Chain A
């Protein structure tokens, strides 16, 4: 599979594991840990998929998602959110997330979801 995934996650070891799984599957993965930088990257790089953690420094995952959906240039970018709780998931759904993965996730689960979204 080919394509560019922007991973926005402030936990370095989680990010490393996800990068490894996706890169092994052929995807190009760029990683950012800061919310503000991530928003700029979405606007500048136009990734094929954004994987967005809920709790981030700078801007929260929900704030980034809202900004992506409010910008006509980025509103169609597919976004998968990594959430911890049911309440977070409901908020993410309202903000316009396409998919959700709840922590702690399995590698097979996240890979299957990414493949499904990239093949849409």
Chain B
């Protein structure tokens, strides 16, 4: 087993994704099969191989920090599920 139901629940919690038990039961064998396939990577010796995170040499892209107009507040709030007219409203945190 590459992944257990408990590990599926843990990863889902890390990703802030609620799963019901039916989903855990169907996802676990699917993920196990996928991870077993991914084990193929271990056929290769990569001891001295550096990782690639970007295929092209991308260096930090700096620009001047200039004040520019941004999206108007009302437009920014237009897609929000709940607002008070000035800010996004979410359930109480503390």
A interacts with B: no
Chain A positions near chain B (C-beta within 8 angstroms): none
